[in-house]
Amino acid sequence: MARSDSRLTGLKENSNENAAHAVPEWLCRISQSQSKPCPLMTLQEASIEDRWSPVEVLVWIATRSRRFTDALRGLPLSCVEDRLWRLQSENHSPHPMTLSTALLAFRKEVQCGRIGGLEWEFPRAKDSTICMFNMYEFALMDISFRAADVLRTWPDWPATLAWNAAKTRPWQALILKVWIRSLPAGDYLPFADVVDLVAFGRAKMAIGLSDIDEHAAQLRAGIAIVNAAIEGKIKLVGTPCERWQIQAHLLRQTGHRIAIESETLHDLIPVPFGGRDWLGPRRYADEFAEIGHAPHSVSFCGVMVERTSLLKWLTTASIKAPGLREADVTELVLSEKGKNPSVSIDKIVKLVQSKDPLFPRERIREIAREMGVEGRRGRPRKNSAE
Which pLDDT belongs to residue 319? 56
Which residue ranges make up each domain of the chain? Answer: 37-154, 160-320, 326-370
Q: What are phi and psi of 19, to 5 degrees?
A: -60, -40
Predicted local confidence at residue 30, as pLDDT: 29
**Pairing between β-strand 300-306 and β-strand 236-243 as defined by DSSP bridges:** antiparallel
Residue-wise pLDDT tens digits, 18-69: 333 332 333 333 223 333 444 445 544 444 468 899 999 999 999 999 999 9
Residue 192's alpha-carbon distances to 185, 198, 200, 218, 304, in angstroms, are 16, 10, 12, 9, 8
Are 241 and 295 in contact by the 8 Å Cβ rule? The answer is no
Question: What would the DSSP string read from start to end of 150-170?
Answer: HHHHS-S-HHHHHHHHHHHS-
CB crowding 130-169: b at 16 or more within 10 Å, else e? eeeeebeebbeeeeebbbbbbbebbebbebbbbbbbbbee
317 CB neighbour count, 10 Å cutoff: 18
DSSP character string of 217-247: HHHHHHHHHHHHHHTTSS-EEEEEEEE-SS-
pTM (2 decimals)?
0.70
DSSP string, 312-343: HHHHHHHHH-PPPPHHHHHHHHHHHHHH-TT-
Please state, in angstroms and rounded to a whole number, the distance separating the CA atoms of residues 274 and 295: 12
Q: Are 188 and 305 in contact (CB under 8 A)?
A: yes
**CA neighbor of 297 nearest in space, from 218, 254, 244:** 244
Judge residue 322's burial from the number of C-beta atoms within 10 Å of its C-beta, 0-12 exposed, 13-18 middle, 19 or more buried.
Answer: exposed
375-381, long-range: CB < 8 A, 24+ apart:
375/344, 375/345, 376/344, 376/345, 376/346
How far is the CA of 69 from the CAs of 80, 266, 338, in angstroms? 10, 32, 34
Give the pLDDT score at 276. Answer: 95
Counting as low any pLDDT under 70, the low residues of the chain are 1-49, 116-121, 173-179, 318-323, 357-358, 375-386
Residues 6+ apart with CB under 8 A from 88: 63, 68, 96
Nearest to 130 by CA among 106, 100, 154: 106
